[in-house]
């Protein structure tokens, strides 16, 4: 039992000399951990965002459109139409919305803008 404790202690405190087989094994374990773990283990998004992303599939990165940017545009009949106008102004091409989500400010009380995925 003492031998096992010594081995674990040496591995945790990294007491092995560079070039020894123990050092090489520890390095290989670290590299294996980095490349072989599923990416879902490191997904730090809130659960609601992960669920929305899985429903949408891989649709690229969103554009963040602030509320003041929407306020500078001419009025539109719907929020989606206003976001499309903002996307057209920003992207300099016709834009069609695939999905959008409100983004709250730091207090969580007001909508600061929208994450918008364009086609």
pLDDT at position 31: 94
27 and 52, same domain (yes or no): no
The domain total for the chain is 2
Structural domain of 51: 45-118
CB 83 within 8 A of CB 70: yes
Residues 57 and 107 in one domain: yes
| Locus of tokens 């405190």 | 13
Beta bridge partners of 113: 66, 103
The 3-class secondary structure across 26-80, one letter per residue, is HHHHHHHHHHHCCHHHHCCCCHHHHHHHHHHCCCCCCEEEEHHHHHCCCCCCCHH
- Clarify whether residues 17 and 56 are in a common domain: no
pLDDT value at residue 106: 87
pLDDT of residue 29: 92
Write out the two tokens for 53.
Answer: 């992303």
CB 17 within 8 A of CB 23: yes
pLDDT tens, N- to C-terminus, the chain (119 residues): 888 888 888 888 888 888 899 899 989 999 999 899 887 777 676 766 666 666 655 556 788 888 888 888 888 888 889 899 888 888 888 888 888 888 888 888 888 889 888 87
Q: Percent of the chain scored above 70 by pLDDT?
A: 85
Predicted local distance difference test score (pLDDT) of residue 54: 62
Query: What are the beta bridge partners of residue 66?
Result: 113
Helix (H) or strand (E) holding 8: helix 2-12
Q: Are residues 63 and 26 in the same domain?
A: no
**Within this chain, do residues 67 and 107 fall inside the same structural domain, yes or no?**
yes
């Amino acid at each position: 039992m003492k031998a096992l404790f010594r081995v674990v202690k040496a591995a945790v405190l990294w007491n092995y000399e560079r070039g020894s087989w123990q050092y090489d094994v520890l390095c290989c374990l670290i590299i294996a951990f980095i490349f072989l773990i599923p990416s879902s283990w490191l997904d730090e998004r809130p659960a609601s965002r992960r669920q929305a992303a899985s429903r949408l599939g891989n649709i690229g990165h969103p554009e963040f459109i602030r509320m003041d940017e929407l306020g500078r545009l001419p009025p539109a009949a719907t929020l989606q139409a206003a976001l499309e106008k903002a996307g057209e102004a920003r992207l300099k091409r016709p834009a069609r919305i695939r999905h959008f989500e409100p983004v709250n400010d730091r207090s969580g009380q007001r909508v600061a803008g929208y994450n918008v995925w364009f086609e």
